[in-house]
Structure formats: C-alpha cells, structure tokens
Amino acid sequence: MTTRTLTFREAFNEAIRLEMRRDPTVILMGEDIAGGAMTHLEAKGEEAWGGDLGLTKGLVQEFGRSRVRDTPISESAFIGAAVGAASTGLRPIAELMFVDFFGVCFDQIYNQGAKLRYMFGGKAKVPMVVETLIGGGFRAAGQHSQCLYSIFTHIPGLKTVVPSTPYNAKGLMSGAIRDDDPVIYFVHKVLLDTSGPVPEDNYVIPLGKAEVARQGKDATVVAIGRMRLFALEAAQELAKDGIDVEVVDPQSLSPLDESTILESVKKTHRLVVVDEDNPLCSMASEIISLAARNAFGYLDSAPQAVTAPHTPVPFSPALEDVYIPSPAKIVEAVRAVLA
C-alpha cells in the first residue's frame, strides 16, 4: 500500500470520504460544514469553509447536499436527529464544532444516544459518530479550549477516542464510523496542521487498542491525544540522561486498553499520566486508580499526574502557556517517580 505524508486534517477528511464512498448510509451534519445555501459558491464547485477549521472541506461537492448538511445553531436538534437517524437505519456523523458546546445538547448524547439500546433491552442500535474539537493553544479562552473527554468517558453507552497522529486519526475515524455504538471522536485543534505518513487505502484501527508510541524500561508515561507529542519530547530529553521512558497512547478512552497500560506499568514499575483535561474525576485519575487497584504490587513509587490545573482555560498567551501541560513538566514528573 502506498503511503503519503498528510496533515491530520487531511487524514481525518480522507477517512470520512472513503467511508462515505463505501457506505451510502453514512451522512454528515454540522454547522457551516457545507457552506450554507450559497448558490454562487456551488456554481464554482466550492463551499465556504468546510467546517470552522476545514475538517470537512470538499465533501459536499462529492456527496451532495442530501448527505452533507449545514445545520442551524441547534445542536440538540441535529445531534438528536443523528441519534434518531442512527436508530432507524443511517450511520450519521455529527460535527459538534467545539466540545465546549456540549452543554446545550448533552441530553441527546448521554440520555438518548448512549442509553436507548440498554433501556430498550438491546432492541436498538445507535451507530453514530460525534466529532468535535478540543484543547487549548488557540488563545480561544474558557469556552472554546476545553477537553472534557472524561465526562463522555464517564457515561456508559458511549465510546470515546482521542487521536494523536494523522495515521491514527484516519484509522480511528474509519473504526468509529463502522462501529455499531455511539462514538465521540475528539480532535485536538493544535494537531490539525501536524503531518505524518498515512496509507492511501482505507484501514481501521479498532477501538479499545492502545499504542506503545515508544518502548522503554524505566518509567511508563501514559499520554492522551496531543500530550503524546509532549511525552515523546520529554522522553528524548530524558534519554540524554539515560532515562528510558515508555510512552503509551491509549487512543481510545472507552473502551480503555487496560492490559497494555498495566503490562507497561508491570514492566517499568513507575507511572506518570499526562492529560490536558482538568484534574478532578479525570482520565488521569482513572488511569492512576486503575494501576493502584490492579498493579499495586508492581509500583515502586507514587504515580504522578500531569494535568491542567483546576481552573478554566485562560485567554492570555502568558497564562495559557502555563496552563497547558508541557514537556518540561513531564520531565519533572518522570524524575519524581524515579527519585
């Protein structure tokens, strides 16, 4: 299979394109993903933006306005419509522009999409994907920079994936679209312009599989989404001092690949979890609790969490740069678990 270098944005877009070609029941809905009703643009075979950050660019031209739909600013209505359509025969993808907006529509995701199957005694299936932007770094302030995936992971009936590279962005999206359960797919804004090798053909990364991004023997660093990149930077830094870090990227948070994480901890006996989300009831706490409950005897030191503080995301670059976990803080934490 030929492999090219693509940006994360291109890889994400390609996965949706290939799945929409493969399966006519896959549709896409969201705000400004198709460019309104702009006849002058349609005439030119263009859309306005293809989504705020261009994730869906070009899809309306190939698949048309029936399968690729602009929505009003009515997240409850169109995400709920995705649930209703999924339980009656389509495989909708709904774009929740920024995850920060989940507060206006969460009922349709967590009480409807996530629970219909269980409440109906298994007599419904809700194959849908909600893809949404997360994370800081854009100076977008408190209501456009959150992660919040811990909240979705808390909910039984939802699956959650957090890609970190162009390669897994594509494979996890194909996996999410083909999955028969509702999947929330979290895209970190800052990753969109990162690039890497991506095979041309349509491949699937199964949900629930972690990736060991770097083999190491001295300490395990579990790093989610963009934090994987920072963890790898930190590992390089530490390698200079002969400290050999293993970096595990969960890729899916629910289901979580517990065995890969636990095996690594049992091998290295030290654990640091890096999570850009706020700390309380977070994925970081979940993974540390997982290790404490299931690998207690293997741990040689107290695990450490490197997370954002328990505060909203500040606007000022001077503050946001302090807010987001950094390679330096990861280095510090690894040294601490090794001390």
Partner 1 sequence: MAEMTKDRLLWIYERMRLIREFEDRAAQLFAEGKIPGFVHLYAGEEAIGVGVCANLTDRDFITSTHRGHGHCIAKGVDPKEMMAELYGKATGSCHGKGGSMHIADVDRGMLGANGIIGAGGPLACGSGLMAKIKGTDQVTVCFFGDGAAEQGTMHESMNLAAIWKLPVVFLCENNGYAQTTPAHYHCAAKDISDRATAYNIPGFSVDGTDVFAVYEAVSEAVARARRGEGPTLIECKGFRYYGHFQGDNMSYFTEEEKAQNRARDPIDAFRKRVLERGLLSEKELADIDARAKQTIDEAVAFAEQSPYPAPEAVLTDVYVSYA
Ligand X SMILES: Cc1ncc(C[n+]2csc(CCOP(=O)(O)OP(=O)(O)O)c2C)c(N)n1
Positions marked active-site: 144
Q: Which stretch binds a second copy (CB under 8 A): 21-29, 104-112, 199-207, 212-220?
A: 104-112
Q: Which residues contact 24 (CB under 8 A, 6 or more apart)?
A: 67
The option from ligand X, a second copy, partner 1, none interacting with 78 (CB < 5 to 8 A, set by class) reads partner 1
CA end-to-end span of the chain, whole Å?
46
Using CB under 8 A as the binding rule, the residues of this chain from 103 to 132 that contact partner 1 are 103-104, 107-108, 111-112, 116-125
Using CB under 8 A as the binding rule, the residues of this chain from 74 to 93 that contact partner 1 are 74, 76-90, 92
Q: Could you tell me if residue 173 is left (phi over 0), alpha (psi between -120 and 50 degrees) or otherwise beta? A: alpha
Q: Which is nearer to partner 1, 302 or 322 (CB)?
A: 322
140 near partner 1 (CB under 8 A) = yes
SS3 for 282? coil
SS3 for 304? strand
Helix, strand, coil % (nearest 5) of the chain? 40, 20, 40
Q: Which residues contact 125 (CB under 8 A, 6 or more apart)?
A: 86, 87, 117, 180, 181
Least distance from a second copy to the Cβ atom of residue 320, Å: 13
Using CB under 8 A as the binding rule, the residues of this chain from 278 to 337 that contact partner 1 are 309-312, 314-319, 322-323
> Contact at 8 Å (CB) between 221 and 264?
no
Using CB under 6 A as the binding rule, the residues of this chain from 89 to 128 that contact ligand X are 97, 101, 104
Contact track, partner 1, 168-207, x by CB under 8 A: -----------xxx------------------------xx
The option from partner 1, ligand X, a second copy, none interacting with 304 (CB < 5 to 8 A, set by class) reads a second copy
SS3 for 318? helix
Q: Which residues bind ligand X (CB under 6 A)?
A: 31, 73, 75, 97, 101, 104
